[in-house]
Amino acid sequence: MRIAVAHEWLTNWAGSEKVAEQLVDVSAASELVVAIADRRLAAERFPNLTVTPLWPSRMPAATTRWPRYALPMVAAWATARIKADALLVSSHFAAHFATRLFDGPSIVYYHTPARMLWRPEMELARLPVAARAVVRDGVLPIMRRWDRRAARHPTVVLANSHAVARRIAEAYGRQAQILHPPVDVARWLSVPRRDRSHLLWVGRLVAYKRPDLAVEAARLTGLPLMIVGDGPERARLEYGAPSNVRFLGRAPDATVRDAMAHARALVFPGEEDFGIAPIEALAAGVPVVAFGRGGVLDYLRAGENGLLTATQDVATFARALRRAWTMTWDERAIRRASECFSIERFRIELGGVLDSVLRRGWRRREVVA
């Protein structure tokens, strides 16, 4: 059986790309189709696989300026004709349109329905003020209708969290099976716990993840905060940050592990579809202070492995940080909470989904880690 995998774009390596990697490997796919491909990254990550970019990949500066090509990517996916016996799709924007003209069984793994369409409050702020009303009232209703039609085609839909499953039900009227993403839990279980000298942020410094809230809560509490990661918000945040906040930028793995080993708690103030960094922190025995919405509700238990805030305001988050700093935590219980999100578990559960849709004819080998 010839299986193809479709993934939005291959321009960096993050959580959704790691899911696509597992889709390819578990299914023994013969082709990976992407709207835009960085050829060096494709060769590095998929050296023995045919990686097929669609026509937006030929547009100027596509691999670095891909957000400007949102509409071309939608058009490319909607008109793509992928030749295979079965299709697996990793979608968080428009890749699920690939099922529209596909003749065989298809499975879509939704990281989220497109935020641009279904969570526009997170995206419209990036646009000029004059354009927001036009997009909200004119463009979005049309795009939502197209997007809803595309979601009718997959044979089976999967969601990476219960929060995303609810969004799928609201946006598309479809019931999704939960398949939490793969996390390299084993790598973090070996991190030793040391002097717990700081709070820690790990991730991209982009507005929707609310790094500003982490910085301002640290300012209010005076507690030391270490920020690992880079992104468009870094310069602004670093310029005005208090002296108890330290920015490490994009750091090597050894530095991240050392920062995690010394962390009193991980700060996670944004609303995420799932959230890989909190699972890694739990595996390292580090409790998580998070905003209590989104994917974190699938794994955080208040008082057991973290604290949840009801709102995203500085005073509320600061109180939670002070409490987490002074609490006594059960490190072994925290680590145990991460173990059910392993790569091995993902591969086995994905194999079960493929069995249910394709029967066992797709298996060229047993699914193992």
- DSSP assignment of 150-165: HTTS-SEEEESSHHHH
* pLDDT score at 368: 58
* pLDDT score at 141: 86
Q: Would you say 177 and 161 are in contact if contact means Cβ atoms under 8 Å apart?
A: no
Q: Into how many domains does the chain fold?
A: 2
Same domain, 70 and 213: no
Q: Would you say 40 and 12 are in contact if contact means Cβ atoms under 8 Å apart?
A: no
Q: Is 356 within a domain?
A: yes
Measured between alpha carbons, how far is 281 from 191 in angstroms, rounded to an integer? 10
Same domain, 217 and 306: yes
Q: Is the pLDDT of residue 23 over 80?
A: yes
Q: Is the pLDDT of residue 72 over 60?
A: yes
Q: Is 369 within a domain?
A: no
Same domain, 137 and 259: no
* pLDDT score at 126: 59
Strand partners, 108: 89, 157
Q: What is the pTM of this model?
A: 0.92
Q: Is 49 within a domain?
A: yes
Nearest to 107 by CA among 208, 4, 226: 4
DSSP alpha helix (H) spans, the chain: 15-27, 39-45, 70-79, 115-118, 129-134, 140-150, 162-172, 185-189, 211-221, 234-240, 253-261, 276-283, 314-326, 331-336, 343-358
Same domain, 306 and 346: no
* pLDDT tier for residue 60 given thresholds of 50, 70 and 90: very high
* pLDDT tier for residue 154 given thresholds of 50, 70 and 90: very high
User: Domain limits at 126?
Assistant: 3-182+342-362
Measured between alpha carbons, how far is 107 from 112 in angstroms, rounded to an integer? 14
Nearest to 244 by CA among 226, 265, 264: 226
Ordered strands of the 156-159 beta sheet: 50-53, 31-34, 3-7, 86-91, 106-110, 156-159, 177-178
Same domain, 108 and 191: no
The model's pLDDT over 278-335, given as tens digits with 9 standing for 90+, comes to 999 999 999 999 999 999 999 999 999 999 999 999 999 999 999 999 999 999 999 9
Same domain, 16 and 95: yes
Task: Output the CA angle 269-270-273, nearest 5 degrees.
Answer: 135
* pLDDT tier for residue 181 given thresholds of 50, 70 and 90: very high
- Residue 175 one-letter amino acid: Q
Q: Is 101 within a domain?
A: yes
Same domain, 8 and 122: yes
Q: Is the pLDDT of residue 125 over 90?
A: no
Q: Would you say 229 and 252 are in contact if contact means Cβ atoms under 8 Å apart?
A: no
* pLDDT tier for residue 357 given thresholds of 50, 70 and 90: very high
* pLDDT score at 164: 97
* pLDDT tier for residue 116 given thresholds of 50, 70 and 90: confident
| Percent of the chain at pLDDT exceeding 70 | 93
Q: Could you tell me the CATH number of the domain that includes residue 299?
A: 3.40.50.2000
The model's pLDDT over 288-297, given as tens digits with 9 standing for 90+, comes to 999 999 999 9
Q: Is 368 within a domain?
A: no
* pLDDT score at 213: 96
- Residue 212 one-letter amino acid: D
Q: Is 261 within a domain?
A: yes
Same domain, 198 and 298: yes
Same domain, 205 and 327: yes
For residues 119 and 181, which has the higher predicted lDDT (pLDDT)?
Answer: 181
Which phi and psi (to 5°) does residue 305 adopt? -130, 10
Same domain, 246 and 353: no
Q: Is 367 within a domain?
A: no
Measured between alpha carbons, how far is 5 from 368 in angstroms, rounded to an integer? 19
Same domain, 40 and 54: yes
